[in-house]
Amino acid sequence: MNKHTFMKKKVLRSLGLVVAAVATTLALVPQAAFAASCPAPAADYGSLTTNLSIPANGTYRLWSRIKVPDTTNTTYQLEVDGQNCYTVGGGGVAANAWVWVDYQSGTASNKVQLALNQGNHTLKMTGLQPGVRLDTIIAVTDLNCIPTDAGNNCNTPSDTTPPSVIVTAPTDGSTVTGTVKIAANATDGTGIQKVEFYANGSLVATDTSAPYEANWDTALTPNNLYTLTAKAFDTAGNFATDTSGATVRNGDTQPPTAPGSLRATAPAHNKVALTWTASTDNVGTTSYFVSRNNVPLAQVTGTTYTDGTVTANTAYAYQVVAADAAGNKSAASNASITTPGIADTQAPTRPTNLAAQTVSSSQINLTWLASTDNAGVTGYEVFRAQQDGQYAKVATVSGTTFGDAGLRPLTKYTYYVRAKDAAGNTSQNSNTTPATQTHGKNKRSELLGTVRNSDGTGIKGARIIFTADNKRHIYVTDAAGKYDINGLAGGTYLVTYEATGYNSATIIRPITDNARVAQNVTLTKK
């Protein structure tokens, strides 16, 4: 029976390299010799991260099925659990054929071999060289097995069936005092290794032979409701649990009265004050437990509590319960309140240092320094002068930059921006930019094209980013996904294409002087 579970194939593309991985579900435990995470590669050729688990412990060898373009580019990087790094392949890997590799750094005797424990772990594969393709990773316990074809000949069956366990004492819902017996029946086809007994998550005892039982001294615990758990392990490391509930009642069993006259007030939008009258008890009340919306907040000894973790204009329900020294708890007292809103009338400060830069025949980029606000700036409104001299809002952005695309060549434009906060307060207008004239077409070289999605539809508002003349330039596509960048000098550019909701793509684009270069790009959705 094939015990490997394979994940859906994923493909990552960057600069023409394809890295594909199909990973088995396994768990990886590092060897001390490789206790270091992988450094970032010099170039980004793609990566894939997979969550892995394995049902049983053992020693495994990792085989990778790879295909390399030549005898120079023959390795990829494998990182296990974020701290164990291997350079898989190298040396005599045959080119232009799918081959299985189980060694690292070009040394055939230096195997990728690990001790694997049950549990979840992370496996990350990263491209190091162009053209190297990764198809499959498998882990096998038969260290003499050499994979062929898809590697199914090296499957490693293991025991994944958990044992059977039932708590037999105390009976569910019973009340207990003094020392009581916790017992369970446990069976498994390969044998029971041990049974652990817990009370509210704390280990009480471990029994390694039948009958499986333990003594629990309830006098050492507060009076309360307890969940008793039996956790049985078989010889393969599989485990199963069963639970039973019991209430401990030793000594004083009388609970305090409920706190009286619980009252909640909100002196500020971010503060709630609670007051109540003291509970009574036959022995004495020792503390009060305060909860908000049934989530515990604090344990106090007095009859007041201030909650400073609330937000404005929000409804809250509070509960207060009294407790005595024996752990008996009273019924809850309840109170509800809605915090007031924030009356924000303070406008943000004025944006400063607004500057404009012409980046093409159809686009001007704006930058400015951020505003501040008592409650926080939520965005900036960008205004552009019309032909009649009146300003109109052309965009609202969250950052301190804006690319105004779709402009007419050889036309002068003037801008200002203003900040706004969540309450709708707006700042004074920034300085206005000097009149800015866009380039005409065909000044030096031109880069143009369309940014599309996988369906072939143009992506509006996609960003084209690269550095020229020691400055970072950002361009934006129009409604049809088209862009046109003029005024470029001849040279080689690293150009990144990105859009919200899509994976970015980066290309290396040589451009000669006085050339018109077309570059269309397809982005895949995340």
In this prediction, residue 52 carries a pLDDT of 63
| pLDDT given at position 152 | 83
Is 320 within 8 Å of 297 (Cβ atoms)? Answer: no
Q: Which of 28-32, 73-77, 299-303 has the lowest mean pLDDT?
A: 28-32
Residue 388 burial (10 A CB sphere; 0-12, 13-18, 19+): exposed
Residue 271 confidence (pLDDT): 93
User: Strand pairing of 99-101 and 58-67?
Assistant: antiparallel
| 378 beta partners | none
Among 189, 182, 178, smallest CA distance to 203 is for 182
φ and ψ at residue 218, rounded to 5 degrees: -70, -15
302 Cβ contact partners less than 8 Å away, ≥ 6 residues apart: 288
Quick one: pLDDT at residue 119?
61
Cα–Cα distance, 120 to 494 (Å, whole number): 38
The pLDDT of residue 5 is 25
Amino acid type, 23: A
Residue bearing the bigger pLDDT, 358 or 299: 299
Residue 306: per-residue pLDDT: 96
User: What is the model's pLDDT at position 511?
Assistant: 86
Q: Which of 13-22, 43-52, 404-413 has the lowest mean pLDDT?
A: 13-22
Model confidence at 155, in pLDDT bands (50, 70, 90)?
Answer: low
13 vs 105 pLDDT, higher one? 105
- Residue 22, pLDDT above cutoff 60: no
Question: Is the pLDDT reported for residue 121 higher than 80?
Answer: no
| 35, pLDDT greater than 80 | no
**Which pLDDT belongs to residue 176?**
92
Q: What is the pLDDT of residue 60?
A: 82
Q: Which residue has the higher pLDDT, 97 or 16?
A: 97
SS3 string, 206-247, reads EECCCCEEEEEEHHHCCCCEEEEEEEEEECCCCEEEEEEEEE
- What's the pLDDT score for residue 252? 81
Q: Which of 50-54, 354-358, 511-515 has the lowest mean pLDDT?
A: 50-54
What's the confidence (pLDDT) of residue 185? 96
Closest to 243 (Cα-Cα) out of 348, 347, 166: 166
**363-382 residue pLDDT tens:** 889 999 999 998 889 999 99
Q: Pull the structure tokens for residue 413.
A: 């434009």
Residue 181 dihedral angles phi and psi, to the nearest 5°: -100, 130
> What is each CA distance from 278 to 116, 262, 289, 296, in whole angstroms?
57, 10, 13, 19
| pLDDT bracket for residue 120 (50, 70, 90) | low
Q: What percent of the chain has pLDDT over 70?
A: 88
Residue closest to 209 by CA, chosen among 223, 220, 198, 195:
195
Region 72-91: mean pLDDT is 90
- Smallest CA-to-CA distance from 68 within 151, 9, 128 is with 128
* Residue 461 contacts residue 483 (beta carbons within 8 Å): no
The mean pLDDT value for 85-99 works out to 92
Mean pLDDT of 304-310: 95
What is the structure's pLDDT at 8? 27
Higher pLDDT, 234 or 438: 234
pLDDT band per the 50, 70, 90 thresholds, residue 31 = very low
Per the model's pLDDT, the better-predicted residue between 471 and 397 turns out to be 397
Determine the pLDDT at residue 438.
56
**Residues 250, 326 contacting (CB under 8 angstroms):** yes
> Region 27-48: what's the mean pLDDT?
62
Pairing mode, if any, of strands 164-169 and 179-187?
Answer: antiparallel
Q: Looking at residue 425, what is its pLDDT?
A: 93
**pTM beyond 0.85:** no
CA angle 394/397/403 to nearest 5° reads: 65
